[in-house]
Chains A and B, each alone.
Chain A
């Protein structure tokens, strides 16, 4: 190979490598998504599901309602973490798909999605419903994120959990910004 060809080849290699680097940079959500993911992990650890909810070796399935991008963002944020020794699996679930919803252990309802339909669909099944729509826990959700002076806090509704056969630990209720029973 001529020296010129070698130079061209080296340049192309470098360029392609640089390009791949740029394209392949894993896209992590903004810190808010990660903070939410971290909360969800804590929730999963501090809520008790009935033993029947898990087949042996089954991962903890988190369903994200609505936008596919929201599910992807959350999945990325988990970065292979586990809760109570269970692997975490994030799925995107269409809001109207009841059978897909009840197949999850935890359903997350992002901003902009309807709370009531999801809450109604999973009522009576061992599914923890977490959301960030305003007044989520007053609309029958179990745990709802709220923003407070730039930080993310949550509210809890233990009665909603009980309706689905779940028990919310006292620690979770203690840290909750407010506890609603309805």
Chain B
């Protein structure tokens, strides 16, 4: 666990900085890649629900701190998502990249929709909008789908990074077992 945290915490800090500073200037079709969230999801897919929960908390808090948003909002969302993704039994028959991509994209899609819903509820409750209305079609076409495309592109390097970390840890475990 310590090794994973030592690798993923700096990685998520760097990704958080990039996501909040560099990528907003490099919008592709009005979307920004969700680097930290994709990392949390992919790591959770490889390392299970408990690690997913922890990575979710860490990644979400990093993003909350960097965006100076209400602390804990992203952390809660990421932690729950990481926890849920960790339940997919990858080690047995799900260890295929397209499946991982599908799972992570599904998570990104859900996160985007939930974020939009929460944002609308928040605006309505604070009185910023007079009545509760949602433009789901517009959000899907103009924000969520371009975001998914962007996230699918950045998923690949993150997937291979997580896989190599996972294999490295597995090798270490095997060596320890052989040694003992």
A, B: real partners: no
